[in-house]
Amino acid sequence: MLSKQEPDKAYFVEMVFTHMGIIHKICKLYAAEEDRDDLKQEIIFQLWKSYPAFRGDSKFQSWMYRVALNTAMLGLRARKIKYTMLSDQTLEISEDPFEHQDQEIRINQLYRQISKLKDLDKTIIFLYLEQCSYDEIAEITGISTNNVSLRLVRIREKLRSKLQIQTTKDEK
């Protein structure tokens, strides 16, 4: 076991490289295109800075989500980075209100609505789309598993409602 003064640089680089997709997706969700490189660098810096405190109590990936999401949310507040949307994930909705529209349009509408959510709700739905378990989401966000479940029900219902309203407007 390494001391806190001697973090395993090779392991850190390997793990960050292995999970770089996490950073890219968070940057897409929380930063406008022109701000993504800056946010990516800030996330990597914060990961390295806090790496000596990583004790291995959780999976490296869960710890990485937590640090990256906190960095992104703090960056939004501090620098007023514009919200943007993800375009490479989908959310299953039991009754698709867009069945006659192109899939890309539906995904863009969905993520436009996700980008309008409060930070915690946006984080929860992001982690859900990343296929994290409720327990992992709870660990990363610091809320209970029951609260994650309840919030996801509410978030999905809110998104379903917003998308149905938008579909109705688009049909007029």
What pLDDT, on the 0 to 100 scale, is given for residue 146?
A: 95
Paired tokens of 32:
């406008």
What pLDDT, on the 0 to 100 scale, is given for residue 83?
A: 39
What pLDDT, on the 0 to 100 scale, is given for residue 170?
A: 59
Domain definitions of the chain by residue range? 1-84, 88-172
Query: How does pLDDT run across 109-131, given as a tens digit for each residue?
Result: 787 888 888 989 999 998 998 88
The top-level CATH class assigned to 88-172 is mainly alpha
CATH of domain 1-84: 1.10.1740.10
Query: How does pLDDT run across 56-111, given as a tens digit for each residue?
Result: 888 899 899 999 988 888 765 554 434 334 433 444 444 444 444 466 677 777 87
Give the lowest-confidence range in 15-29, 92-106, 114-128, 157-171.
Answer: 92-106
* Distance, CA of 84 to CA of 2 (rounded, Å): 40
- The better pLDDT of the pair 77, 31 is held by 31
What pLDDT, on the 0 to 100 scale, is given for residue 76?
A: 59
Please report how the helices 60-79 and 36-50 are oriented relative to each other, as an axis angle in degrees rounded to 10. Answer: 130
Assess whether the region 1-84 and the region 88-172 belong to the same CATH fold: no
